Amino acid sequence: MSLPRIGVSLPHFGPHAGPDAVVTVARATERLGFHAVSVSERLLMPVGPDWTNDAGLPESHVWDSLEMLTWAAAHTERIRVSTGIVNSIFQPPVVLARRLATLDRLSRGRLDAGIGQGGGTMEPPRYIPEEFVAAGVPASRRGAGFAEHVAAMRACWGPDPVEHHGRFYDIPPSLVGPKPFKSTIPLFIGALTRHTVERAARIGDGFVTVALDWDETRTRIRWYRDAGGTGTVVVNTIQAHPGTPITPATFTDAVLTDLDRAAKAGADEMHLTLNLKPIAPDDQVEFLEALAAELGLPDGLSR
């Protein structure tokens, strides 16, 4: 049983988020032989009297995913850059397709694009209505037209002239670019419920989920495979919970435990999140160095 490839979430929210922190963590991730860096997306955090943060989301501004990954790609040469995930419904497919293709070209083909139907808040599955209001998208559109959005983006990445006509999106015959560095960009679909997992198996090149309960994570991966999904399975994990002490040793032990669980569940990649605690970038690098030493990288999981 081989262990999953390891990705590292960049400091894109919280008190340490910023250009220097991204460069520090991204370069260390590459130097130590890990597989990828990743970011998630959060359009806003509500502060109204009816808002309850029952999913434990970071109460912070979240920097834009694609700009953060572009900055990371500019300061690295090998590692994959991954969104995990971008809420596609907040952008027309031609806009998101061009932004993703631009990042893919600038990184010379290193992009893995994780996308979702909008507003997921990890566990339990739900959404943030305020994001839809701010984006000018009716909440009733959540999920509707998602498969068409994927098809329209892939059309934009195909040969010119591009054309797409559907229920939700219309692209007249046009020259649309840039095109991806290679023929396309891998699309990993964010999924939590059985319906969305099975949809990921049908229309995606893989799927992304979050492991807050490993029994549920194993079930989701089984749903994906049973539905015919043969692509990459990415599991996002949290190694630094607020209020829980963490050291390089405890971090390494936690990651090794989760790696074993992820391997047994059938995951291909596991991405580590350290940003829920205000851990300075240099300390994050120290934790990653301890993990790499334990795993014997760069000759271990780097592939």
Is there a contact between 100 and 107 (Cβ–Cβ < 8 Å)?
no
CA 86 to chain centre: 7
Q: Which residues contact 68 (CB under 8 A, 6 or more apart)?
A: 10, 12, 22, 39
What's the mean pLDDT when you consider all of the chain? 91
Averaged pLDDT, 120-148? 78
CB within 8 Å of 93: residues ≥ 6 apart: 149, 150, 152, 153, 156, 164, 169, 171
Cβ atoms of 295 and 5 closer than 8 Å: no
Give 70's pLDDT tier (boundaries 50, 70, 90).
very high
More confident of the two residues 153 and 53: 153
Q: Is residue 123 predicted with pLDDT exceeding 50?
A: no
What is the percent of the chain where pLDDT is above 70? 94
pLDDT score of 126 more than 80? no
3-state secondary structure of 114: strand
Mean pLDDT in residue range 87-112: 97
Strands 111-116 and 206-210 turn out to be unpaired
pLDDT of 302 strictly over 50: no
Quote the pLDDT of residue 301. 43
Tell me how far apart the alpha carbons of residues 293 and 20 are, in angstroms, rounded to a whole number: 24
- Between CA 48 and CA 59, with CA 53 as vertex, the angle to 5 degrees is 80
- pLDDT single digits (tens) 191-250: 999 999 999 999 999 999 999 899 999 999 999 999 999 999 999 998 877 677 889 999
What average pLDDT does the segment 278-301 reach?
Answer: 87
pLDDT score at 238: 87
Domains and CATH numbers, the chain: 5-295 (3.20.20.30)
Q: What is the per-residue pLDDT for 141?
A: 83
Half-sphere exposure of 268 (CA within 13 A, CB side): 15
How many other C-beta atoms can be found within 10 angstroms of the C-beta atom of residue 56? 14
State how far the alpha carbon of 180 is from the alpha carbons of 78, 100, 264, in Å. 17, 8, 34
Instruction: Judge whether 51 and 131 are in contact, CB under 8 Å.
Output: no
Q: What does the pLDDT average to over 290-295?
A: 96
d(CA 240, CA 84): 18
Q: What is the rounded average pLDDT of the residues 27-40?
A: 97
* Of 110, 240, 246, 247, the residue nearest 186 (C-alpha): 110
Percent of the chain with pLDDT over 90: 76
